Structure 1
Amino acid sequence: MTNQQTAKPRKERKENADKRRQQLLDATWRSIAENGLSRTTLATVAAQAELSQGVAVFYFKSKAGLLTEALRDHYARYQANWERALSEAGSDPADRLIALIRADFDADICNPEALSIWYAFWGEQKFTPDYAQVTAEFDVARVEAMRAACAALMTSAPESEIIRTAEWIDTFSDGFWQRLHVLPSDYDAQRCLDETLQLAAHLIPQIADQLNGSGRR
C-alpha cells in the first residue's frame, strides 16, 4: 500500500488530535488538584493522562502553554454552563437571572476540584499576564450577561444602579466560592446558592415570586 492509502482521513486525524489534546487538559486539572499549580509539570500531566511526556510537548510546547490552555478550557466550560442555563430558562427576565445565579453553584462548576483550580490560577494572575488575559476575555461575556439580566428587571433604574446591582450579586457568589474553597466543612453549595438568591431578591424584588414558587425547584 502507498502512504496515501494508509494515511488516516483528515477528519479522523483531527478528531484524534482533539481527543488527545482534551485528554491532556483533563489530566492537567487532576494534576493541579493533586500537586498544586507550581508542582504541575508536563511530566505530571503526561503521567495523569497515561501518555508520554513527548505527546504533551507536541501539543502544548511548554508548561506555560499547557497551563494557559488549561485555564482557557476551564473558563470555556464555565461559560458553556451559564450560557446553557440561560438558554433553558426561556425569555422570562426573572427566570433568566435566577438561572444565571444557579449556574454558578452547579455541581459541574462548583466542586472542590474546580474551586482549587480557579484559586490556583487566580493567585498567579498578578505574575502571569497570560492568565490575566484569559480571565479578562471570558469575564467580559459573564459581566455583560449578569448586567443584561438585571437590566431586564430594573427597567426604570439608571444604568449605574444596574451595574452596581450586578456587581453585588456576582461579588456575593464569588465570596461564597471562596468560603466553599477555604471552609468546606462550614459551607455547602446549596446554602450558598439559597443565600445568593435571597440577596438577589432583596436587591430586585421582582424575582421573589419565582423563588417562592417554581424558582426553588
Structure 2
Amino acid sequence: MTDATPRKPRKERKENAERRRRQLLDAARRSILTHGLAKTTLATVADEAGLSQGVAVFYFTSKSGLLTETLRDLYEGYENLWMRALEQTGDAPLDRLMALLDADFSAEACGPDVLPLWFAFWGELRFTGHYAEVAAEFDARRHRALSGIWAALLPESCRSDADQMAEWMESLTDGYWQRLHLAPESHDRMHALAASKLCLSRLVPELLPAPLA
C-alpha cells in the first residue's frame, strides 16, 4: 500500500518550521513585555502566538530553551542592525563610528518595545549561565568591531587606547539606554544621540568636531 497523504516538499516544510519558530519568538517578546520574564512560560507564549503549548515544546523543549533563544534572537537583530549600518557607510573611520552611534539610538535598537526586553534579560545574566554565554558571544564581536574603528581613527601613538575608547563608548550608550528605560518621560533617543556625540567630541576634540547645536 502507498501512503495516500502526500508529503510536503522539504523546502516547504523548512519554511513552515522557520515561520512557526519566528511566530513563537515574537510571541515570547510580547509575553515578556506583558508578564515579565519570570512569569513568561511556554503556556503564555503559546497563548500569545495562538498555538498549542505542545507546539512550543516541540520547537524549544523548555521555557529555558525558549527564553535563551529569544535573547539570542534579540542580539541577532541588534547585530544585524549595526552591521548593516557599517555596510551602508564608507571606509572613513569617523563615518563608521557615527553610523554605529546612529544605529545604537534607532527605535529598532532601543525603542520602547525593545528596551524592556534588554533590561529583563540583563538583570538575569549573573544568575543564568545560558544568558551570559549568549551575551558574551555577541558583545565580544561588537567590541572587536568598535575597537577596530577606534584603532583606525586614533593616531598611531595612541592606538593602544582603542580598546579603552570602545569600552567608554559602550558604557556611554548603555548609560543612556538605562535612562531611556527608567525615565522615558524625561529622555528621548534623539537627545541621547546628540549628547553622546557631544561627549565623544569633547573626549577626543582633535578627532571629532563638535556637533552642531
Same-fold status (TM-score > 0.5): yes
TM bucket, shorter chain: over 0.9
Q: Work out the number of aligned pairs and report it.
A: 212
Q: SS where residue 90 of structure 1 aligns?
A: coil
Quote the Cα distance in structure 1 between the aligned partners of 2:150 and 2:198: 15
Q: SS where residue 85 of structure 1 aligns?
A: helix
Change (3 A) 1:4 1:91: farther
Deviates more, 1:151-160 or 1:122-131: 151-160
Q: How does 1:49-68 map to 2 (within 5 A)?
A: 49-68=49-68
Per the alignment, residue 27 of structure 1 pairs with 27
Q: 1:4 deviation in Å? A: 8.2
Q: How does 1:117-156 map to 2 (within 5 A)?
A: 117-156=117-156
Quote the Cα distance in structure 1 between the aligned partners of 2:102 and 2:168: 15
What percent identity do the matched residue pairs reach?
51
Q: Which has the higher helix share?
A: 1
Letter in 1 for 2:31: S
Q: SS where residue 66 of structure 1 aligns?
A: helix
Is contact 1:153–1:204 with CA below 8 Å preserved after alignment? no
After superposition, give the CA deviation of every residue in 1:46-101 in whole Å (9 maximum; x if it has no partner): 11111111100000000000000000000000000000001111111111000011
Structure 1 stretches of 4+ moved >4 Å:
none
Change (3 A) 1:12 1:162: same
Structure 1: 5+ residue runs without aligned partners? Answer: none
Per the alignment, residue 99 of structure 2 pairs with 99
After superposition, give the CA deviation of every residue in 1:106-152 in whole Å (9 maximum; x if it has no partner): 11111112110111111111110000000000001110111111111
Q: TM-score, normalised by structure 1?
A: 0.93
Q: 1:2 deviation in Å? A: 4.3
Is contact 1:154–1:204 with CA below 8 Å preserved after alignment? no
- 1:198 pairs with 2:198: yes
Letter in 2 for 1:138: F
Per the alignment, residue 209 of structure 2 pairs with 208
Quote the Cα distance in structure 2 between the aligned partners of 1:172 and 1:159: 20
Deviates more, 1:121-130 or 1:158-167: 158-167
Quote the Cα distance in structure 2 between the aligned partners of 1:80 and 1:186: 29
Quote the Cα distance in structure 2 between the aligned partners of 1:138 and 1:32: 21
Change (3 A) 1:157 1:19: farther
Q: TM-score, normalised by structure 2?
A: 0.94
Quote the Cα distance in structure 2 between the aligned partners of 1:32 and 1:128: 16
More RCO (CA 8 Å, sep 6+): 1
Is contact 1:165–1:203 with CA below 8 Å preserved after alignment? no
Change (3 A) 1:134 1:4: farther
Letter in 1 for 2:69: E
